[in-house]
Structure 1
Amino acid sequence: MSDIALRARITGRVQGVAFRAWTRSEAKQRGLSGWVRNDSDGSVLALLMGPASDVAAMVRALSQGPPAARVTDVMTENVEPDPEFTGFQIIR
């Protein structure tokens, strides 16, 4: 199966609830690479790269989020993979 890359914007109560740390942990468990960061509009942005089935599972997980989060939407778009990211990082 080929690798894909998606950029995801997660909205709702997603900042101040350990969303980035949770996302990094979940992505690492799935063997994904990329990054996650807070955006100035209160959303969280993530770049998810890996096998399509694992990326799809991660998007489903993002729609739930960690226990303190209240996710209202996860919007995704296909993007080109960024070979600069070999692991999964929190960008501040």
Structure 2
Amino acid sequence: MNESDANESETEDDRVRAHVFVSGRVQGVYYRASTREAAEERDVDGWVRNLDDGRVEAVFEGSEDAVEALVEWCHTGSSAAVVEDVDVTYEEPQGESGFRVRW
């Protein structure tokens, strides 16, 4: 294994995955698009979508620091959002690539 292979495997080992549910006034307030922008700024992969019960669901994968920063961002969200709760579960990374808004 050469040095670049070692660095690549360390990067994969350092990835974390957070599965997040955000409740409050988080639909119709640009929350998903703002989440995508915040994720792209932090180089976090994953997705975000609205749920029928009024919550927003998201998955974030990336470095621990970047994912934690994005989870913290979720407590505020877009400027028009009123976040009441953020429920986070950590899971094994699934190899998300890029960040998208799901429908």
1:88 matches 2:99: yes
Letter in 1 for 2:91: V
Cα drift, residue 81 of structure 1: 1.5
Bigger proportion of residues as helix: 2
Residue from 56, 62, 69 that aligns with 1:44: 56
Cα drift, residue 40 of structure 1: 0.9
How many residues align? The count is 91
CA RMSD in angstroms comes to 1.0
State percent identity of aligned pairs: 38
Q: How high is the TM-score relative to the length of structure 1?
A: 0.95
- Find the structure with the greater CA-based Rg: 2
Alignment match, 2:25:
13
Q: How high is the TM-score relative to the length of structure 2?
A: 0.85
Runs of 4+ in 1 over 6 A off after TM superposition: none
1:24-53 Cα distance to aligned partner (Å, 9 max, x none): 000000000000000111000000000001
